Homo-oligomer: A and B are copies of this chain.
Amino acid sequence: MTVPDQGEMEKTVVGGLSALLGPGAVVTEPHELARYEQGWRYGRGAALAAVRPSSTEEVSRVLAFAAARGIRVVPQGANTGLVGASTPDATGSMLVLSLERLSRLLEIDPVDRTVVAGGGVLLSQLDAALAEQGLLFPIDLGADPTVGGMVATNAAGTRVLRYGDVRQNLLGVEVVLADGTVLDLMAALRKNNTGLDAKQLFVGTSGVFGVVTRAVLRVVPRPAQRATALVGAASGATVLQLLSHLERGLGDVLTAFEVVSADALGPVFRYQPRLRNPFGAALPPYTVLVELSTTLPSERISLDDLLESTLGALLEGEAGEGITDIFPGKPSDLWDVRHHVSESHRHEGEVLGFDISVPRSSMAVFVDAARALVAAEYPFIRVCDFGHWGDGGVHLNLVWKKDEAVRETPELKAELQPRIYDLAVTSFRGSFSAEHGVGPHNQAFYDRYTPALVQEVCRTLKARLDPQGLLGTTRLG
């Protein structure tokens, strides 16, 4: 009797999967496989194959097949995650389970204000379909993820202040467990208070407890109008004061409150000359993108007028102290500036990104502390911070030119990460991952900062839901 070598085992697996789903569903050619092995920005590995089922039933068959053979599987949506949780590891022995073909199901109930969507439906696809019905799924972010991926990473973005994250807009899910069992939690109910809300186990847990194949989402009436302005602020404290002031008066129509520091904004105008810089050479320490939106028609109330007069009045009162500039502008233009921030930093040199949150009243102090930490010991690094101050979220990009650094990039990153995370988590009771979730990219910090008891609960859940430990590359316990 001969022991089959790895090549033969691969052939058996690929053959078996092709027999299950048809040959078109299994990807093995290196040039086709590459996009399943490489993340959008982070994460790279080597897969045995990628398999693309086109129904829940097929997902179930693939997982049952893999479980029977002890093959590890990484679920993948649009592969736009930022923590490396949707790509295989380097062993070449994992199967990528792509949900991209679960994209056809998209049922909108306008009276219910809910959508049933397949796990592979793209955010852009969802948005286009909803727009036709005057509805909106209020998650807004730079990438175009799938519904399943958004559930598994609890996607958030720029309008959480007003609408909440995916968790808060999710009514039901269908999940396939590692052994192929289909768990139907697809209740389209806004109120359903019957013990443990089991769907929460699959939100933000990187697919390690099960694969999200369908979801029921709650959607909102699409705004009829939108008004935006850039506001210059002399300090972080001024920004927080502005936030409180605007929330009190405009709380119901304030949809976004995005903040970009001068260091973070400079590169945008340097590398995107087509974008208009209303400030000129001297950027204010902080620029705030304020967005109002409402379903109320402009004949009732004009948000442009409301925003302009509110900001104008602000300048005259005490709350306006430290406000340096006010530039109303077209929403698409101003969001264009905001959405080019992160990308522009990559033109400046090496970037080490952090996705931090702190209690939002501590934001200004936290960013100052991070700046002080860096300035004291790494004078060649610029702290380019920007983010969702309305939600206490900040993307802290540390940027430096390679040739000015005292150490090699990997060494420097390894040194900086624990220091910044420790400042955020330990000194400010913040989070080491505000919205990107958990994956190999930040696994070490998950291990360090997650209470032992929570990790133990996750281990207990994993032992029941995926006893062989086959699903995903993230380890929650």
Contacts and interface: CB of A to CB of B under 8 A. Distances in A.
Interface of A: 109-114, 134, 153-154, 156, 160-161, 164-165, 167-168, 181, 183-185, 187-198, 200-201, 203-206, 220-221, 223, 240, 243-244, 247-253, 294-297, 300-301, 306, 357-362, 388, 391-393, 429-438, 446, 449-451, 453-454, 456-458, 460-461, 464-465, 474, 476
Contacts of A434: 189, 191-193
Nearest to A206: B195
Contacts of A223: 252
A214 B396 CA distance: 31
Contacts of A160: 190-191
B191 A388 contact: yes
B189 A357 contact: yes
Nearest to A463: B460
A464 B457 contact: yes
| Copies held by the complex | 2
B204 A221 contact: no
Contacts of A460: 460-461, 464
24 contacts: A112-B392, A113-B360, A156-B191, A156-B193, A165-B193, A183-B451, A185-B451, A187-B431, A189-B392, A191-B391, A191-B431, A192-B357, A193-B438, A194-B204, A194-B431, A194-B437, A194-B438, A194-B449, A195-B204, A195-B474, A195-B476, A456-B464, A457-B461, A460-B460
A458 B438 CA distance: 24
Contacts of A362: 112
A392 B194 contact: no
A106 to B, nearest CB: 17
Given A160-B190, A240-B111, A248-B134, A458 B357 contact: no
Nearest to A248: B221
A328 to B, nearest CB: 17
A111 B361 contact: yes
A244 B435 CA distance: 33
A460 B461 CA distance: 8
Contacts of A431: 187, 189, 191-194
A190 B461 contact: no
Given A109-B359, A252-B295, A165 B187 contact: no
Contact of A300 (B183, B301, B392): B301
A451 B182 CA distance: 11
B435 A360 contact: no
A451 to B, nearest CB: 7
A23 to B, nearest CB: 33
Contacts of A457: 196, 198, 201, 461, 464-465
Given A111-B240, A168-B164, A453-B183, A194 B432 contact: yes
A438 to B, nearest CB: 5
Nearest to A200: B200
Contacts of A393: 190-191
A464 B454 CA distance: 11
Nearest to A434: B191
A283 to B, nearest CB: 25
Contacts of A250: 295-296
A452 to B, nearest CB: 10
A312 to B, nearest CB: 14
B295 A249 contact: yes
Given A183-B453, A250-B295, A294-B252, A205 B194 contact: no
Nearest to A451: B183
Contacts of A357: 189-192
A220 B296 contact: no
